[in-house]
Structure 1
Amino acid sequence: MKRTTPTIRDVAAAAGVSVATVSKYMNGAQRFSAPVEARLKEAIEQLGYRSNPLARSMITGETRTIGLAILDIRNPYFTNIVKGANRIALRHDYTLLLVDTEENQEREQPLIEALAQRVDGVIISSRMQEDAMEWMTKLNKPVVLLGRNEQCPIPSVSNDSYLAGYMLARHLLNQGHRRIAYLGFAASRWDAERIRGAHTCLSEAGLKLDVHDAHAPSTLAGKAACSSVMLGPDRPEALICYNDLIALGFMKEALTLGFRLPQDLSVTGFDNVPYGEYAVPALTTVDLQSEKMGETAMLKLIDALAGKPDAGHVTLEPRLVVRESTARREEAP
């Protein structure tokens, strides 16, 4: 004979209480006397009852699910954000629902709007320019943005890209480099701030920053850009890359072209992705605390869902991580 799945009514009958009491106990909405809770616990365990999240969401209007929209799951920077956000979600009994927009700005809005209909709140990473994000305020759900937007009243968490760019430029100057270039990704909202930080630092030393652009924030784009930077008339002594993936692709191609690293070129990146430590040479970078960013964004969203006032924008401090891909400039004989 086929065993039937126990229902909330079965639990109520076994414990000698009402269905409403079982529901409130399961949802943590109300505490009861010790004897009543003991009977409820025993009935639930004996029957093997499990609450139906869909049914609960229809009653309460809550899904206990939080959406996270990221730009590229293949990029370890975003993987770390997911890891941090998921850790906090699980701690607060929420499930994370992930959407990868695949670096496609045209797909971002429809994907995020669809996601918002299925969750209690949304954390968003976006390549859109600040003046194009107003629609996010009309999702009718709490939203936390990864990266600050001065034009929209959306709670946000970001890292200090200006300071990170300044720190890398200062590190390279301290090593005696004077011809310093930047290989960026202009489509990113953070690219300009990283350039500004590096440019400010070099300007203070009376130097200029030579700026190049990669077509994507990927290892393949870094590899593709290498020959034009290294075989052109103004070959740099040191290079700041928009992220670690571009830097790693660039380094691989530079070695293929016969350049010695870091003797012929010091290379740096942003993000401190795990692979950078195991590259040859190991990559000097700025740790942007991506895992902590995911944790902080999730905490802000959970506070919003609980009706707590927003504490304002949070900026995470970058940390310089020096490895073997940068070295003091050797004087020409």
Structure 2
Amino acid sequence: MTIKPPTIHDVAAAAGVSTSTVSKYVNGIQRFSPVVEAALKSAIEALGYRSNPQAQSMITGRTKSIGLSVLDISNPHFTAIVKGANRVALAHGYTLLLADVDETPSRERSLLEALSRRVDGLLVYSRIPEEEMSWMIGLGKPLVFFGRLEHTQLPCVSGDDRRAGYMLAQHLVTKGHKRVAYLGFSRSNRNRERMDGIRECLASHDLSLLVFDCEAPAAVASELASASIMLGQEPPDAIVCYNDLMAIGLMAGIQSLGFRVPQDISVAGFDNIPFGRYTMPPLTTVDQQSERMGEVGMHKLLTAIAGDANCDVTTLAPQLIVRSSVQGRVE
């Protein structure tokens, strides 16, 4: 004999209220008197009633799910963002649904369109140019963007990439470096700001910047680039990489060529991923507060879902993390 699970009608009958009262109580739409709420709680516990998420969604118009799109979940920077966002989502009764575009811009639109149909709002980390984002806003869901937008009115969370680049360059100059290079990833919206910060600092010391570019923001790509950087006529004495993964790959490539880090060249990166402190030598970097970025983004999105879409930008301050991959130079 199959025992049917208790329904909302059973709870209403046991508590002596209407089914609409049960629905409003279960979904947190309305508060009732202590006597009524005590009766509802007692009936729900006695019957073992569990609400149907799909039914709740039909009643409230809410899925209690949040969509988060990241560029590459294998990059610990994005893993930390997910961790921070998920912590806040769980604390507010939301489930986080993740889309990983795997550094493939052509996938972003289809993934976000599919995700938008299943969630109450979207947190988006994207390389899509701002002038091509109108379709994203047209999805009709509250949206928070990771990064800076010049013309589009959306709530944003961003690191201060220009300041972070300046801080790293200043550290290198203080250590006596004069031939500074930048290994970037030009397809990133944040690449220019990081590079501009480095250039601004070097210019104030009458120094120029040598620029290299990678095909992907990954360790494999930067390792392959190490030969062209180190075997030129006048190799740099210090290099800043677009992110820590590239810095780690570059160090491996440099060392495989017979050069020493930091004795022959100092290396630094961005993001302060956990692996950086365990490399040989440990990696100098800038902490962009990745986990905090996820937390702030989720708080902003929950506020937008509640109907208060404040289109401001929260900028998280970078912190220089000094380790032994950068060494002083004596001329």
What TM-score range do you get, normalising by the shorter chain?
Answer: over 0.9
1:115 partner amino acid: L
TM-score scaled by length of structure 2: 0.97
CA contact (8 A) 1:155 1:310 kept: yes
The aligned residue for residue 281 of structure 1 is: 281
Match of 1:116 in 2: 116
Aligned to 2:95: 95
Deviations 1:230-272 (A, max 9, x none): 1111211000000000000111121121111111111000000
- 1:311 CA drift (Å): 5.7
Q: Give how far 1:31 is off.
A: 1.8
The equivalences for 1:169-188 within 5 A come to 169-188=169-188
Alpha-carbon shift at residue 327 of structure 1 (Å) = 1.0
Distance in 2, Cα, partners of 1:193 & 1:304 = 28
Q: Partners in 1 of 2:88 and 2:209 — Cα distance?
A: 40
2:224 maps to 224
Equivalent position of 2:26 in the other structure = 26
What amino acid maps onto 2:113 in structure 1? E
Corresponding residue for 1:63?
A: 63
Query: What residue in structure 2 maps to residue 166 of structure 1?
Result: 166
Q: Secondary structure at the match of 1:252?
A: helix
Q: Give secondary structure in 2 for the equivalent of 1:13.
A: helix
Distance 2:153 2:109 in 1: 18
Is the contact made by 2:154 and 2:312 (CA closer than 8 Å) also made in structure 1? no
* Mapped contact 1:263–1:330 kept (Cα < 8 A): no
Query: 1:122, CA displacement in angstroms?
Result: 0.5
Q: Find the aligned partners of 2:206 and 2:330 in 1 and give their Cα distance.
A: 21
Q: Provide, for residues 296-318 of structure 1, a one-character-per-residue CA deviation record: whole Å limited to 9, x for no partner.
A: 11111111111124061111111
Match of 1:106 in 2: 106
What aligned pairs does 1:173-322 form with structure 2 within 5 A after superposition? 173-310=173-310, 312-322=312-322
- Residue 15 of structure 1, CA deviation: 1.7
Equivalent residue for 1:44?
A: 44
Is the 2:184–2:213 contact (alpha carbons within 8 Å) kept by the matching residues of 1?
yes
SS of equivalent to 1:270:
coil
CA distance in structure 1 between the aligned counterparts of 2:83 and 2:182, rounded to whole angstroms: 30
Partner in structure 2 of residue 327 of structure 1: 327
Q: Work out the number of aligned pairs and report it.
A: 331
CA RMSD, Structure 1 to Structure 2 (Å): 1.1
Structure 2 unaligned runs (5+)? none
Distance in structure 2 (CA, Å) of the matches to 1:206 and 1:130: 34
Q: How far, CA to CA, are the matches of 1:320 and 1:259 in structure 2?
A: 25
What code does the residue aligned with 1:200 have?
E
Q: Normalization by structure 1: what TM-score?
A: 0.97
Aligned residue type for 2:287: D
Range 149-158 or range 162-171, more displaced: 149-158
The aligned amino acid for 1:188 is S
SS of the residue corresponding to residue 13 of structure 2 reads helix
Check the 8 A contact 2:271/2:287 in 1, yes or no: yes
Q: Deviations over 1:151-210 (max 9, x none)?
A: 211211111111111111100000000000000001100001111110111111111100
CA-to-aligned-CA distance 1:253-294 (integer Å, 9 cap, x gap): 211211111111110000000000111111000001111111
By how many angstroms is 1:3 displaced?
2.4
